[in-house]
Amino acid sequence: MYSEKVMDHFSNPRNVGEIPDADGIGEVGNPTCGDIMKIFIKVKDGVIDDIKFKTFGCGAAIATSSMVTELVKGKTIDEALKISNKTVAEALDGLPSKKMHCSNLAADALHKAIEDYRNRSKK
Amino acid sequence: MRRVYFDHSSTTPLDPAAAGEMAPYFTEFFGNPSSFHYFGRGVRKAVEEAREKVAGAIGADPREIVFTSGGTESVNMAIEGIAQANQKKGNHIITCAVEHHCSLNTCKSLAKKGFEVTFLPVDSYGMVSVDDIAAAITDRTVLINIMHANNEVGTIQPVAEIGRLARERGVYFHSDACTSFGRVPVNVDDLGVNLLSLSAHKIYGPKGAGALYLRKGTRWQPLFHGGAQERMRRSGTENVPAIIGFGKTAELAAAGLEHEITYLTGLRDKIIREVIGRFDNIRLTGHPEKRTPNLASFCFEFIEGESMLLHLDMQGVAASSGSACTSGSLEPSHVLTSMGIPPEVAHGSLLLTLGKNNTEEDVDYFLAVLPPIIERLRDMSPLCHYDHCEVEEDCITCTARK
């Protein structure tokens, strides 16, 4: 049911963990639905210098979290904002249709982390 | 890689002896059991022998056995058949929240058609209260529908007591015994049922066969309209090879029951003891004692069931879960939430159902591969980590349950 890429990112997730002094943190989902994704970013000169995630959820939730971190690491904030949930799913060679809505939220978590970073920078 | 099959509640491997008995009925003995000629007569005889075996396994008269395509059909036939045939008496059905979907959805469908259905709650073990059933009976009640054992948590309902109550109050009683048959004693007189549903593929029989026990004298009407097969109770040419296989495995299940109970209880209890002893923030789901001997079920907090299943599968262990992702809906298992388990905990459900081919080595292998999986997923979880629960007072997820 899952593509090889999904299984690869699920079984060897990239960038798992937290960044204690993160510049931005984004969280989406809720435990009742069975998916929570939390993304931590460190920004240097407008570039995502480091990114880590923690996820509670199914295989698709973990794989999309891992994939989004890989897609945006080293990218500028503007480039990262162009990444959508759809981009993430495509990069994983697709997701089962019923997972597209419930577990494909990693880009949302990333965008929230960027929003958090921007809010903090304004202060 | 070692392969361990711990998902016998989904289906069981076909018993080779049953496969052997079935084989000639696909080719050599192809006749229609309704046919009058030589080809039909021989097959008819074999079908009737299978009926005797299934009847013998549950203490019924062979004439009270109706072969069906499986558990779902039997349950539909039981509930719908009683409801439709007893409308002069009433239109009220009593069932409970943890029934299999084939019961719940049949009841919901009847409710849409104007029948009244009472869905009784269950306690934290998934057990329905006989007093609740007694209180729910009205003079319009035509059927009590309560499963024998639950397929997700193994809890065995007080079916014999319900049977006595139903008889006293003059209400028909159907029990879905698909999970219990072949795991615990199932005798229609001891249980006091008017109708009972059975499935072949849960007892090492073939898929596509089941039976409805229909006690003599029960006012009931068939679901299918057609020929006179199964004494006018289930039209359609019989699935002969599957029926032959079902007969064989019903016979084997009854003969091997005592041994299987002792053997599987030992394996199950080892899993429960070791898993509960090994982890914090975990709970056994279902009744601690009144449960099927082959079923161990847990909820692991902070992690999600499908992730556990994927990792276990990669290690060669086949198991099941009541999480939303594995149930195919957005909600975690209705069985777990009906027992009062919060949805976020229900998502961490793991269900292991053992079978006669499992060994102690299988159990040891599972117990060796499980801990790193749980630790890895918990390390990745943004929910409060179990090590920190007691110190992090602001952690709602954890403190809510302390």
- CA A27/CA A39 separation, integer angstroms: 6
pTM of the model as a whole:
0.93
What's the N-to-C CA distance of chain A in angstroms?
Answer: 46
Residue-range domains of chain A with CATH:
4-122 (3.90.1010.10)
To the nearest whole angstrom, how far is the Cα of A11 from the nearest Cα of chain B?
8
Q: What are phi and psi of A98, to 5 degrees?
A: -70, -15
pLDDT category of residue A100 using cuts at 50, 70 and 90: confident
Quote the longest CA-to-CA distance of chain A. Answer: 46
- CA B311/CA A6 separation, integer angstroms: 13
pLDDT category of residue A9 using cuts at 50, 70 and 90: very high
Active site residue A102: yes
pLDDT confidence of residue A1:
85
- CA B83/CA B77 separation, integer angstroms: 10
Whether chain B has a CB inside 8 Å of the CB on A16: the answer is yes
For residues A107 and A34, the answer to whether their CB atoms sit within 8 Å is no
Average pLDDT, chain A: 94
Q: What is the mean pLDDT of residues A45-71?
A: 96
Q: Which residues of B touch A11 (CB under 8 A)?
A: 310-311, 314
For residues B301 and B141, the answer to whether their CB atoms sit within 8 Å is no
Q: What are phi and psi of A52, to 5 degrees?
A: -140, 160
| Among B298, B297, B262, CA closest to B282 | B298
| Among A77, A67, A73, A78, CA closest to A103 | A67
What's the N-to-C CA distance of chain B in angstroms?
Answer: 41
Tell me which of A58, A69, A112 to substitute to probe the interface with B (most B C-beta atoms closer than 10 Å).
Answer: A58
Residue A102 clears pLDDT 80, i.e. is over it: no
Q: Do β-strands B65-68 and A47-56 pair in parallel, antiparallel, or remain unpaired?
A: unpaired
| Among B248, B181, B254, CA closest to B17 | B248
Residue A64 clears pLDDT 90, i.e. is over it: yes
For residues B312 and B372, the answer to whether their CB atoms sit within 8 Å is no
Torsion of CA B305, B310, B313, B315, to 10 degrees: -110
Q: In terms of pLDDT, which residue wins out, A6 or A31?
A: A6
* Interface contacts A/B by beta carbons within 8 Å: 70
To the nearest whole angstrom, how far is the Cα of B3 from the nearest Cα of chain A?
19
To the nearest whole angstrom, how far is the Cα of B123 from the nearest Cα of chain A?
21
- Do A34 and B323 lie within an 8 Å CB cutoff? yes
Tokens of B168: 């006293």
pLDDT confidence of residue B54:
98
Q: In what order do the strands lie in the sheet with A24-30?
A: A24-30, A35-44, A47-56
pLDDT confidence of residue A52:
98
Q: In terms of pLDDT, which residue wins out, B243 or A96?
A: B243
pLDDT confidence of residue A104:
84
Q: Find the catalytic residue in A11, A17, A33, A90.
A: A33
Q: What is the mean pLDDT of residues A55-83?
A: 96
**CA-based nearest residue in chain A for residue B315:** A11
Of B305, B330, B382, the CB nearest to A54: B382
Q: At what angle do helices A59-72 and A4-11 cross, to 10 degrees?
A: 90
Beta bridge partners of B350: B298
Residue A20: partners with Cβ closer than 8 Å, 6 or more residues away: none
CA angle at residue B206 from B204 to B211, to 5 degrees? 95
Residue type, B319: A
Torsion of CA B261, B263, B269, B274, to 10 degrees: -160
Active site residue B384: no
What are the distances in angstroms from CA B247 to CA B66, B191, B211, B253, B254? Answer: 12, 21, 10, 10, 11
- CA B302/CA A70 separation, integer angstroms: 25
pLDDT confidence of residue B325:
66
For residues B234 and B67, the answer to whether their CB atoms sit within 8 Å is yes
Which of these ranges, A33-37, A101-105, A119-123, B214-218, has the smallest mean pLDDT? A101-105
To the nearest whole angstrom, how far is the Cα of A66 from the nearest Cα of chain B?
11
pLDDT confidence of residue A59:
94
pLDDT confidence of residue B394:
41
Q: Find the catalytic residue in B107, B325, B389, B398.
A: B325
Tokens of A76: 């500028």
Residue B231: partners with Cβ closer than 8 Å, 6 or more residues away: B63, B66
Q: Which residues of B touch A33 (CB under 8 A)?
A: 324, 330, 343
Q: Do β-strands B295-300 and B282-284 pair in parallel, antiparallel, or remain unpaired?
A: antiparallel
What are the distances in angstroms from CA B184 to CA A118, B164, B191, B213? Answer: 63, 19, 12, 17
Give, for B5, the enclosing helix (H) or strand (E): strand B4-5
pLDDT averaged per 10 residues, chain B (length 402):
96 98 98 97 98 98 98 98 98 97 97 98 98 98 98 97 98 98 98 98 98 98 95 97 98 98 98 97 97 98 95 97 72 93 94 98 98 96 61 39 30
- CA B21/CA B24 separation, integer angstroms: 7
pLDDT confidence of residue B385:
53
